[in-house]
Each structure stands twice: as structure tokens, then as C-alpha cells.
Amino acid sequence: MGEQSWLSLVQEEILQPDLSICDPHHHLWDRNGSRYLLDEILEDVYTGHRVVSTVFVECDSMFRADVAKALAPVGETEFVQGVAAMSSSGAYGDCRVAAGIVSFADLTLGAQVRPVLEAHIAASVNRFRGIRHAASWHTSPDIRISHSDPVEHQMLQDDFLEGFNALGDLGLTFDAWCYHTQIDEFTQLAKTNPTVTMVLDHFGGPLGIGPYEGKQVEVFKAWQQSIEALKDCSNVHFKLGGINMKINGFGWHKRALPASSDELVDKTAPYYEFCIDTFGADRCMFESNFPVDKESVSYPVLWNAFKKMSQSRTVSEKEKLFHDTAARVYRI
């Protein structure tokens, strides 16, 4: 994540401070000298915007060391359930951190993933909502393969699909993290599983490094074509954010100053506008993806950018984009 002193170089007045926000995508971790736990996320959410709740999304954090490998990810749910309990006490302010929990379960276990999912539910009966099994994969050595170590065409593998069926049986959501080159595979998964609530994270990962460096126009056109095929998949929702990572190629992290909200709007608004115009506010939600996107932009500036990009929308649309869609999808 970006150093706070660097992020503080860009200060902005908070826009529409009374607009309620449910931030549907952030992480919590303490590893390799990087710490982002309750204190750190509260430092971000209490910077002026009215963030009333958040959703934690898996990040290979606090897996249990004393159980079989398949059950180790349940430790992440146990960990976040504890953080959420601290937040819900009211002792740390009004924001309810991790009011929803999206954890990891290895869907390639096939039918054997069901007891893992049931263990997640037992660990957080009131907050566990679903899983993310990241599938981001690419042939280029310049592009990182996801921490879940997926294989090529992960979302179309028979064992993965067998495990995926358990999500529908248990009424759980599925978050997908893939690159724009894999969106067509996600679309196939969505079309064959219309009863499962699915969420495509970070716009489906438009790439801007490696073989895609300097090709933003071509990438946008390819992304646009793939994403439009999801229009009729009413079970699919979209997280609008997570596009300021190094892999997206905008290079914010290399600059003397972090991005301003106007700069974010100038460079990335077409992605947001296309999704909202194509799928409607009922299927879209703004996300921070913190602390990952913190390598490029501060929390208050990021949400200012979202507010600028949605300024022409109706009051009802704004309520959905900033809060209601996320609260409905994750049952908060």
C-alpha cells in the first residue's frame, strides 16, 4: 500500500458527506511487514465519507495451521468474525466493519467442498455470505497468477464446477477475480448457473502491463465486448473499483503525487459509465479494494472520484451504487 505521508500530499474537500456507503470490498491482513486490521481500516473510513458498513473479501489471511488443508481457510472467517464483533460493539464508531464476509473455499475439491462451506457458515452464522475462488491466470510472466494458484480455464474445470454447485445448494454468493482475458469463461459459468448470485470483482481485471502495456484503447474495446455479453445474466453483479492497481497500468504509484479524484475520473470513467449504462445501478456497486488500491490513491479521494462519476445519476441510482446494491447482494 502507499505510504500515508505520500497519500496525504493530495487533500480534497469531501463531496456529499451525508451519502451512505457500504464498501463491499476490502481486505484485512497482518503479514510481511504490512498491517491492515481494524485500526487501519477505521483510519480510512473515518476520513469524511459516511461509510456505514463494509464487506470483507478473502485474501489468504489467518488460515488455520492445525487442521487439514481444505479446512484451513475457515480460520480466515473466524478471524474476521472476531474483527466484526469488535466493530459491532459500537466502541469503534458507527461503521460496521465486515458486516458481510466473503471467504475462500477450494471449489476444485468438488463435492468435498460442502463440509468446508458448512464450517464457514458455522464460524459466522450471521455474517458469512459466500466465497471467492480467484481464477486470475495468464501466460505472461509479467502478470501475476492469483494467490489461490489457479490453472488455465479454472472456472470451466469439471472439479471446479462440481464444487460450484454446492454454492447454489447452500444459498451462497460467488465472487470472481479474473483478468479481462478470462471474462468469457466467467460468462459461461454465469449462464450455466443462473440461480447463483455472482459478483465480478474489479471490472473483470482489465490489464495494462506486460503485453498490454500502452494498449489501453485496445484493452478497453476487448473488455467492453466481453463484458457486454453478461447483460442478460441477471444473476451477475459488478463491483466498480479495483482498477487502480499496478496491473491496470495507469502507473499512479510511480508518480511524485498520488492520483486526484479529477485524474481518476479522466482516466477511468469510461469503465464505470459503461457498466452503469449497460447493467443499471441495480447490478452495480462502488468498491474501494483497500488496501490494495491504496498503493495509488487515498480513501477519501477515491470515494470523491466515485461521487464525481455518478453526479449525473438520479438520487435512487446513487443510493444503489453507493449502498443499496451491496447491502442487498450481501444481505447486510
**pLDDT tens track for 63-75:** 999 999 999 999 9
In the chain, the amino acid numbered 303 is W
Averaged confidence pLDDT in the chain = 97
Cα diameter, the chain: 52
Q: Output phi, psi for 161, to 5 deg.
A: -65, -35
Q: Output phi, psi for 24, to 5 deg.
A: -90, 10
Packing angle between helix 261-279 and helix 216-228, nearest 10 degrees? 30
Distance CA 175, CA 19 (A): 26
Structure pTM? 0.97
| pLDDT at residue 262 greater than cutoff 70 | yes
In CATH, the number for domain 4-329 is: 3.20.20.140
**pLDDT tens track for 192-238:** 999 999 999 999 999 999 999 999 999 999 999 999 999 999 999 99
Q: What percent of the chain has pLDDT over 70?
A: 99
What pLDDT is stored for residue 276 in this prediction? 98
| pLDDT at residue 1 greater than cutoff 70 | no
